[in-house]
Amino acid sequence: MAGITATTTHRRRARGAVADRPWGIAPTALLLLGAIYCLFPVLWVFIAATKSPGELFTTSTLAFGTGFLDNVADLFAYRDGVFWRWGANTLLYAGGGALLSTGVSAISGYALAKYRFPGRNVIFNLLIGGILVPAVVLAIPQYLLFSKIGLADSYWAVLLPQILHPYSIYLARIYATAAIPDSLLEAGRIDGASEWRLMSRVAMPLMVPGMVTIFLFQFVAIWNNFLLPFIMLGDDGKFPLTVGLFTLLQSGANQPSLYNLILTGAFLSLVPLIALFLTMQRYWRTDLSSGAVK
């Protein structure tokens, strides 16, 4: 009798699992569609970059071509290798700007999270308000300011506006609040550690996953930034990849052969971002402070 009851219960559970399966498949299917939607443009750019000038407008959209290596060689040789200069500029803007922004955001977020001082809430509310201001609104005032102090058309004109980023400070404050126990800081103070030592030796190591996230967000945002360098810079030797490829696109109206170089350059500009995400994933760790306080 017990065996029959167990068999009946198992069958009911199986029927329930089958009935619930469509609801379990739906989120996965939705995520799969979202992934295809996001990855299809990348696939299209890669396929287009493999085509020779004669194949670009004559072959099927999803048909691979035979001219990828020739396109890469022509792109690197264009104007004595100006693509390499644009790539180096982009790495300087994105890498330097992201590092400086991460450092400023981490220190500011830690201070806002762990110290009590007059005006702390006012500063935090101003940061929240700064998040709501679109960057495009600030581009022209920033250009006028840098032009007045003589920094327009310089590397600093692109680097400096990227350092103070309200959203990154907000993320750092939220992460510091959750990741750094107050009891751990108090234990360090009791042991005689200075505030600087607490921040550099205790707080910052615990904030590494959050800092990596801020760095990646800022790196990608600066790497893909077009409007700020387009407004600030006039010398094409200082252009990042976004503005440099845009100038190629403008020239392509009179020289259709440049379209292959543009597509190849657009694809190559994605490779560092993909490599960065793959190499820095291991730094996303949680519970770093587990066991630090007993």
| Distance (Å) of CA 104 to CA 167, 168, 192, 240, 277 | 12, 9, 26, 23, 22
pLDDT higher than 70, residue 10: no
Yes or no: say if 112 and 120 are a contact pair by the CB < 8 Å rule. Answer: yes
Query: What pLDDT was estimated at residue 292?
Result: 45
Question: What's the predicted TM-score (pTM) here?
Answer: 0.82
Q: How do residues 221-257 score in pLDDT, each as one tens digit?
A: 999 999 999 999 988 889 999 999 998 888 766 777 7
How far is Cα 197 from Cα 211, in angstroms, rounded to an integer? 18
Backbone dihedral angles phi then psi of residue 233, each to the nearest 5 degrees? -105, 140
How far is Cα 50 from Cα 44, in angstroms, rounded to an integer? 10
Q: Where are the alpha helices (DSSP H) in the chain?
A: 2-49, 53-56, 68-77, 82-91, 97-114, 120-131, 135-148, 155-163, 166-179, 182-190, 195-197, 204-206, 208-223, 227-232, 241-252, 258-280
Calculate the CA 79 to chain-centre distance.
Answer: 30
How far is Cα 27 from Cα 16, in angstroms, rounded to an integer? 18
- Domain 69-283, CATH: 1.10.3720.10
Map tokens 């550099």 to a residue: 200
Q: How do residues 95-121 score in pLDDT, each as one tens digit?
A: 999 999 999 999 999 999 998 888 888
